[in-house]
Structure 1
């Protein structure tokens, strides 16, 4: 089909899926965040096992020749301002960025919103199982590693002493939903947009990875497991197909006389 003779319907706004009911989606997304918080609290305890698993993970990473977490933290500790910024990023970006991502998709790309919400729900549900079967103390609690609890020393911190912290389960380090959700935000925005700059969204999970490791809240392996879980969810829950509508918008930017394929390719 010639771009000059593109049908009128191809000029419409892409992703014309009917937008789900707002109240229902609000309750679903609120429930997702609530399950994330309460589900981890249910898996509290098993302190001794969590520390044994932490030592095993640390030794496994060294055997696999993964980068040492201490090298990332050392880079952050070159200045109080940098480590404070990393702690702030860890404490404040995780939930708001994911919520903003879902809101934008809901308003602008309803079909992608439904897909992303399902993927995040599946990953979160699967992630809540691991603390029951594999409790894991974060590296900031593990002695003999050279790592320090940057949030406690430099602030801000979102955790209190484990014995008195009733708002979170600090022995649920694996998988890192901080990283898993950040990676899904990037994947979702890359899939839902067509800008040549959309790949820059990968900087969000990359920065998140450096932050969670550098602040000693997670091991590399926590992010690897989160990536595997997300990959499995994406393999099962497919994104919406590209339509003639979406391709038509791309055709508008092509020179006159250029042919484009308008189909259902992904």
Structure 2
């Protein structure tokens, strides 16, 4: 299934990274409003359509908030890791019969999202899983997950790379659940929350109208500081409440 919003490794990757770098170095600190689109496009030397695409992606990733008529505001930095337990989607959706439906498996070149969050070189290849998680037969989460290049995974933990050899033989799960099953103690994560709409493709996959509002959780998972998994989890309006637990 085609993936809405994906753009292959391109100058937009560099533009995304330039804006994030400006946020990181304090040029646009948390809480600050970005210049207007015409001013920012001129400042960065890019076209407005290219800038608008990247701003949409930054909003999806929780980096900025865009409001019509008010421009774009840099979000506050995410809390330090350790405020919540790292759990797969299957455990966050509460009681009920959980079933994962794998819609796509692919080995792909970096996208704007996976390239940035996994620090992928242009020649790297990320394993991609597209999964719908059902609770009691009702679609409750749409998951896009990317793993780091296999060579990088093997350097971090060979068991992580082996997950993809075993995946076709076993029941479908999210990628995070498969990773936690083999390396539960060594992983840390950063998560951000945002709001979006499902769109046509994701709406069809979850049996909901394209304009359905959704919570989007963007997550980067690392082992010893090296990112191994990047994901977007969309929870459409009407999905079961998430059950979060403090770290023990």
Tell me which interval the TM-score lies in, with the shorter structure as reference length: under 0.3
Structure with the bigger RCO (C-alpha within 8 Å, sep 6+) is 1
Higher helix proportion (structure 1 or 2): 1
Greater Rg by CA: 1
Higher strand proportion (structure 1 or 2): 2
TM superposition score normalised by structure 1: 0.23
